[in-house]
Amino acid sequence: MLGVLLIAATTMFVEPVAEPVGTPIQATGPLGRHIQLTFGTQFAKAGESYISPDGSKVIFQAVATPLAGEEADEHYAMYVGDLHHQNGSWRLDNIRQITPAGSANTCGWFHPIDPGKVIFASTVGSPLGGDTPGYQRGSGRYKWAYPPRMRIVEARIDGDFPPTLTPMEGDEKSYQAECSISPDGRHLLYTSHETGDGDIYIRDLQTGVRHLVVGAPGYDGGPFFSPDGKRITYRSDRNNDNLLQIFVGELAFDEQGTITGLDEEIQLTNNEHVNWAPFWHPDNARLVYATSEAGHDNYEVFEVQAAKGGGVGKPARYGTGKRRITNVGGFDGLPAFNPDGTLMIWTSQQGGDGSQLWIAPFDVSTTTTADGKCPVAH
């Protein structure tokens, strides 16, 4: 049985900067005014982020800006902060580090039912050797390491800090990460390298039963449940060419409600670009994702339809209606939404102080309806 790990980390509080650096960008398309949430005075870089089910908090991974003369940490720490709306703008404050110093961390997620609980992947202690990159592109500029001690843990953020980290999945022998929980709180979805390749598993947290759901050759990862809990989306290096593609899987359930695998797999992208970090819009009918379609030095966020269809004679709208969501220089990726889909949070380099978190109003007027009718692509 997995035990409880008491963490002796120092809680980090980061004071917010009052205004974004530079002039906020008014984008065309569905995004409104871009507002910077984290800054170079706080973090050397900030990455993957998600908004809580009640819209009040953000969990994100970041590397703190070091003191003068010191070097930045090699690995991401995990943070939570309070998201506030004030005078027509947004800010992130009361930022707290929830992971121990020296550990490697990634893929934070709020529990959908318990507002005081988060999950993420952590090495808990310092990563061991053998942290070879599992994804490389071209010269190796784009590469993701998979620390073998990485496992999935949970922690409470409504009590004393530092929190207690309780392992949920993993045995320190191989990388387990990229985790999320189904909307009903029953199933844990994650990627494991236990076979030497990236495969996607789902564990029923009620019964403990685990099933392999995506085990194709090549790296399969970054999975998320659809808002209705009946599908998942993920990226895959199915052709083993380092050109990641976006997929949707229709889930299969047994009589007890346990997810046992996929009924059907649908490929949404099939091109010569790196497509990754897919995330569902709350309308349950479209996805946003990061892609190199505009260039490997200018990753941007795109949208694609992923509506299942509304009944007999109404075909699924998978892979149609593609449109570009961001259009600024530098990296833009790792998009996610607030619960009603009116805000998009993502990582961007547009502020001039490295990769930081940004947020913008998202126009939901083109939301796909529940009967599978899709808007006209812009």
Mean pLDDT across the chain: 86
Structural Rg of the chain based on CA atoms: 20
Q: What is the pLDDT of residues 344-355, one digit of tens each?
A: 999 999 989 999
Q: Does the pLDDT of residue 154 top 80, yes or no?
A: yes
Identify which of 362, 338, 357 has the alpha carbon closest to the alpha carbon of residue 347. 357
Q: Is the model more confident about 43 or about 6? A: 43
Say what the pLDDT of residue 128 is. Answer: 63
pLDDT in tens, 269-321: 999 999 999 999 999 999 999 999 998 889 999 999 999 765 555 566 899 99
| Residue 25: per-residue pLDDT | 52
Work out the average pLDDT over 149-172: 93
Averaged pLDDT for residues 219-240: 95
Q: What percent of the chain has pLDDT over 70?
A: 82
Domains of the chain are 5-17+26-366 (2.120.10.30)
Q: What is the pTM of this model?
A: 0.88
Within 13 Å of residue 115, how many CA atoms lie on the same side as its CB? 6
pLDDT over 70 (residue 256): yes
At residue 148 the predicted structure's pLDDT band, cuts being 50, 70 and 90, is confident
The model's pLDDT over 59-89, given as tens digits with 9 standing for 90+, comes to 999 999 999 999 999 999 999 999 999 888 9
Question: HEC string of the chain?
Answer: CCCCEECCCCCCEECCCCCCCCCCCECCCCECECEECCCCCCEEEEEEEEECCCCCEEEEEEEECCCCCCCCCCCCEEEEEEEEEECCEEEEEEEEECCCCCCCEEEEEECCCCCCEEEEEECCCCCCCCCCEEEEECCCCEEEECCCCCEEEEEECCCCCCCEEEEEECCCCCCEEEEEECCCCCEEEEEECCCCCCEEEEEECCCCCEEEEECCCCCEEEEEECCCCCEEEEEECCCCCCCCEEEEEEEEECCCCCEEEEEEEEECCCCCCCEEEEEECCCCCEEEEEECCCCCCCCEEEEEEEECCCECCECCEECCCCEECCCCCCCEEEEEECCCCCEEEEEECCCCCCCEEEEEEECHHHCCCCCCCCCCCC
* pLDDT, position 112: 98
Model confidence at 191: pLDDT above 70:
yes
Write out the two tokens for 11. Answer: 């809680």
pLDDT in the model for residue 19: 38
363-377 pLDDT per residue, tens: 977 544 333 444 433
Tell which wins on pLDDT, 239 or 133: 239
